[in-house]
Structure 1
Amino acid sequence: MDRIAHDNASVRTVRATLERVGRTDRPRIDLPDSDTDAFPVGEVVRVALDGTTRHARVHRGMDEGLELRAVYDNARQARTDDGEDRLPEWVAERDLEFGRSVLVDVVEAGFFYGVRAPDEAAVYEVPDRPDDGLAAIARDLEEP
């Protein structure tokens, strides 16, 4: 596992927006339209929240923009949207309001991202990429 700071030259930071999921008080992160190539639609990616690596699926929103609707403890939960969403707790701990900017660090496009409040610094422990063959087998086993 490598450690990398948010301000490392290899990390690209994009400004996203914290929004509501529908009419609820559940937060989601709206990703910038200009960076759709950095986020694989429909894929589960690793997301660091508060130093802990979690998992999220990149969704296409109603307005065709990209969003992270929830952040889960593992990839299976992110694929099935079944488990405790860690994003509301992260938002509450920082007292962030809807409509406010959050920063998404693109540590390794298509694989690993960090989410932080605009005034936060972060050092990420980047996990090793899983073996593609083993990952495919695991996905096949989880599907009904």
Structure 2
Amino acid sequence: MSETVTDDTVPTVTGTLARAGGTRRLELRLPADAADDFPPGEVVRVVVDGSQNHSQLQRNGDGQPVIRGAYATPSLARDPGGATDAFAAWVDDRDLEVGRSVHVDVVAAGFQYGIRAPGESATYEAHEPPSSSLADIANSLEEP
């Protein structure tokens, strides 16, 4: 069962929009002291502009946690290829530029996050992470 939470009832970290390495791809760099809330390699739910998406949490070359895109399914988050990136579209819609701050609401660390621009508020449908045994079964089904 899920409950509704607002951005003022969950922890929030402030990240910075940046370019991923020498590419034109955007990434959201999160503070190093928040690394425990963003475990690398995990595919998580990311709410962007009210829509649920998925992202695979990563680290940049400095070990800083980053979010690089938000995609329709967990498999697209793992291998986005030419998939539509809801995060990039959200940045474009708001005319945000590299170097700008972006808020990340930690709805459930390691499982669900919300992304919003400073000054915006958000309401999320908070979902319970699956039990570890269910997650293990799901992961085993996805392996080739």
TM-score higher than 0.5 here? yes
Partner residue, 2:97: 97
Q: Residue in 1 aligned with 2:117?
A: 117
Query: What root-mean-square deviation, in Å, do the aligned CA atoms of Structure 1 and Structure 2 show?
Result: 1.5
Q: Give the gaps of 5 or more residues in structure 1.
A: none
> Which residue in the other structure is 2:6 paired with?
5
The equivalent residue for 2:134 is 134
- Provide the residue aligned with 2:19 in structure 1: 20
Whether 1:37 aligns to 2:36 is yes
Show the 5 A alignment for 1:57-68: 57-68=56-67
Q: Secondary structure at the match of 1:7?
A: helix
The aligned length equals 142
Q: Give TM-score, length-normalised by structure 1.
A: 0.90
The letter for the 1-side match of 2:103 is L
Distance in 2 (CA, whole Å) between partners of 1:111 and 1:40 is: 9
- Alpha-carbon distance in structure 2 between the residues aligned to 1:135 and 1:76: 15
Residue 74 of structure 1: how far off its partner (Å): 1.4
Shift of 1:124: 0.6
Matches within 5 A, 1:79-90: 79-82=78-81, 83-90=83-90
Unaligned runs of 5+ in 2: none
TM-score under structure 2 length normalisation = 0.90
Q: Percent identity, aligned pairs only? A: 46
